[in-house]
Every structure is written in C-alpha cells, then in structure tokens.
Structure 1
Amino acid sequence: MKRKDLLRRNEEKIGGFGCSHCKTWVPINELMGTNNRNHCPSCLWSKHLDNRTPGDRTSDCKSGMRPIGLTFKAEGQDRYGHEKQGELMIIHDCQGCHKISINRIAADDDADAIINVFNDSLNMLQAAKLFLASKTIWLLSGDDLSEIYKQLRGEI
C-alpha cells in the first residue's frame, strides 16, 4: 500500500490529526467543506503533505507551512470578459523547503485568525509580493477587505 494511502487511512481511522504548530486536534469530516484537509482551523498552519496536486500526499518534506497571506482562486472570466470572483484561499510558505502553496478555506476555519493573517500580510516586503506574483499568486490588499468579509461572514 502506498504511503499516501496509509496516511489517509490512518487520518480517517482516528478522525483527524494533531496540529504540528499549536497542537490543536483537527477533525476531518464532510462538514468542513474540503476533501483534503491539511491545515489547522485554529492557527491556520498547514503541513507540507502534498507535492503536485491537492490530496496527493507525496511530499517528502512534511514541514510546517506558515500562513502568510490570502488570495482568491482564479476562476477565469465571465462571458463579458470580466474576471470572476473566486473563493478565498490561504497562502502557505513551507518552513522546510519554502514551497509556496494555496489552500481552500474550510468551513470551520477561525474567521478572526484568517483576518489576522490578512492584516499581517499587509506588511509583507515588496520582494516577497513580487515572488508570489511570479508564481501567479496575487496577494490580497486593503482594497479586498470588503470581499474578504463578504466571503467570511456575509457582510459587505
């Protein structure tokens, strides 16, 4: 049996995993709104499990991934050529190999923690922002705050 299958089977068997950063128990269930949970809903830190595609569980790194900002999922354009608004996603930076990845927000993620990540990202160095942009990851700015709240809480 492949390592990723064993890992996933063990997570399913025990119903979740312990966060490697804050030690919170992270349940895995259908209610969270995502199929491949690898980040903590409390501190939003992730674990570098996936390599090429979400859920592949083939990374050899396994280091913690720090939440560094927010972005919107690219959804393409509508029939009028306007950009479609994608869902809110967390940008993670692996503390072992420095791979950058984006993860869907789960239904049980702490909204205040998400806002804290956003606020911290407003002070990101320009070089880091340019690095993200080179990977076609667009860091959200203060101009995006109303859309962030809209997606998190239904506010405008």
Structure 2
Amino acid sequence: MPHCLYLKHLDIVPGDRANPCKGLMKPITIVYSSKKGYPLVHPCTKCGHLSRNKVAMDCTQED
C-alpha cells in the first residue's frame, strides 16, 4: 500500500476547512522541534503558503 505525504490546503485556522485555495501541499523537508517532534514542512503548490504539520505515528488513513 503506497503512503502519500501530500496534503490538501484546506484550513485557515487548524480544523476550520475554510480556505478557498484547495491546492496541494508538497512535503519538502522534515525538521526537529523539541516540543512537536519531527514536523513535515509543506509549501502549497498553488498559493505558496508554508506550514509545518505533525506526523501521525502508527496511523492508517483511507484515501
């Protein structure tokens, strides 16, 4: 089963799903944060917004 690290640019505030962009967020690197572990850095391929997103461990999600 393939694993994809791309996201869809949905939120303005985490969880609100109010962003009209809806572009793909491409994973470009992983960084270390003493508080959040190893978040992935994703820039939006449509609008350029940059975000850091925590990695869920031992998690399987449907496409």
Partner of 2:50: 100
Q: Which of 60, 78, 89 is the equivalent residue of 2:20?
A: 60
Higher relative helix content: 1
RMSD: 2.1
TM-score by length of 1: 0.34
Gap regions ≥5 residues in structure 1: 1-23, 25-40, 74-84, 110-156
Instruction: After superposition, give the CA deviation of every residue in 1:11-39 in whole Å (9 maximum; x if it has no partner).
Output: xxxxxxxxxxxxx8xxxxxxxxxxxxxxx
**Percent of aligned pairs with the same amino acid:** 38
Question: Which structure is larger by alpha-carbon Rg, 1 or 2?
Answer: 1
Aligned residue pairs: how many? 58
Partner of 1:89: 39
**Of the two structures, which has the highest relative contact order with CA contacts closer than 8 Å and spacing of 6 or more?**
2
TM-score by length of 2: 0.77
Name segments (4+ residues, structure 1) moved above 2 Å.
Answer: none
Partner of 2:7: 46
Amino acid of the structure 1 residue aligned with 2:31 = T
